[in-house]
């Protein structure tokens, strides 16, 4: 089994956890471990590094970090049909399914094939200009359109399947998957949606008009966003990580991606239990500050 390891070097505990992972697999002949060369050099595992890890024909990837780290690895590996599992050393781990206290147990299950692969809907964002359509990026959680400078409202026109649905004056607009419903959209007042439900969620950010509310739409609908009435530069962000600038004469097209994020989960994890624990932990942690 070829396993790609993707540690987040910005996390202070990454080296400790990576060392434990490497020690575990060093005694397992059934696994070949590969790291991206830049990470291999940073963590002094050059012998396991590969310049273009996508050429390694990986069976799965393991991220070491938080959900953000896992999202980035999903965007990298999903187009190649490679599943990803996350080791959580972040604060909130909705997606990263392995806690550090259960590291050896879960890595053993991976080698034995005792895990499930959940297919999560992904988004594709495109830019349309003068009839030409260009891919801007992919997202597991959300694609967000906002102003790039000082927070100011943006005028937006929303079309669903070529039918005009609404005009917004808001700080921006979030288009998310059910997976991303517990991310930025939740902070903006959107509902929580079980990721097994194949829908898209459109959530305005601080809308100026009272009647404007989040909309749940079919996963097959195509979203067209036209930018109106703003002197601000506008940007698209993908999972809060990749940024794409938008010009005034460009339209944003968002739809279901042609592939899924494949995320490894284990039988002892329940979505609602995780949801309750993480949200309660988040709330109690905020109260303690």
Q: Which is nearest to 43 in space by CA: 21, 58, 27, 75? A: 21
Distance, CA of 260 to CA of 75 (rounded, Å): 10
End-to-end Cα, the chain, rounded Å: 44
Dihedral (CA of 207, 210, 214, 216) sign: negative
How many residues are given for the chain? Answer: 289
Which residue in 13, 38, 59, 67 is the catalytic one?
67
| Active-site residue, 67 included | yes
Distances (CA, A) of 43 to 7, 36, 38, 72: 9, 11, 9, 19
Q: Pseudo-torsion of CA 192, 195, 196, 197, nearest 10°?
A: 50
Cα-flanking dihedrals φ and ψ of residue 107, to 5°? Answer: -65, -35
Q: Which residues are catalytic?
A: 67
């Amino acid at each position: 089994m070829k396993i790609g390891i993707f540690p987040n070097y910005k996390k202070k505990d990454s080296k400790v956890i990576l060392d434990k992972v490497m020690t575990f697999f060093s005694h397992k002949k059934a696994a070949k471990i590969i790291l991206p060369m830049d990470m291999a050099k940073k963590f002094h595992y050059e012998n396991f590094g590969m310049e273009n890890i996508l050429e390694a024909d990986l069976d799965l990837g393991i991220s070491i970090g938080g959900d953000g780290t896992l999202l980035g690895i999903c965007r990298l590996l999903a187009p190649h049909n490679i599943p990803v599992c996350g080791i959580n050393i972040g604060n909130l781990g909705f997606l990263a399914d392995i806690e550090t206290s259960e590291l050896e147990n879960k890595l053993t299950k991976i080698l034995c094939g005792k895990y499930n692969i959940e297919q999560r809907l992904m988004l594709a964002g495109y830019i349309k200009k003068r009839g030409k359509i260009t891919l801007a990026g992919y997202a597991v959680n959300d694609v967000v359109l906002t102003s790039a400078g000082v927070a100011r409202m943006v005028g937006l026109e929303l079309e669903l399947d070529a039918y005009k649905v609404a005009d917004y004056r808001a700080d921006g607009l979030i288009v998310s998957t059910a997976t991303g419903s517990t991310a930025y959209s939740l902070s903006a007042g959107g509902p929580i949606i079980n990721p097994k439900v194949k829908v898209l969620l459109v959530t305005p950010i601080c809308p100026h008009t009272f009647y404007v509310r989040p909309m749940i739409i079919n996963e097959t609908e195509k979203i067209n966003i036209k930018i109106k009435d703003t002197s601000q530069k506008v940007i698209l962000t993908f999972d809060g990580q990749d940024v794409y600038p938008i010009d005034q004469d460009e339209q944003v097209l968002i739809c279901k991606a042609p592939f899924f994020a494949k995320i490894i989960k284990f039988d002892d994890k329940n979505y609602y239990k995780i949801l309750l624990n993480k949200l309660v932990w988040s709330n109690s942690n905020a109260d303690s500050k």
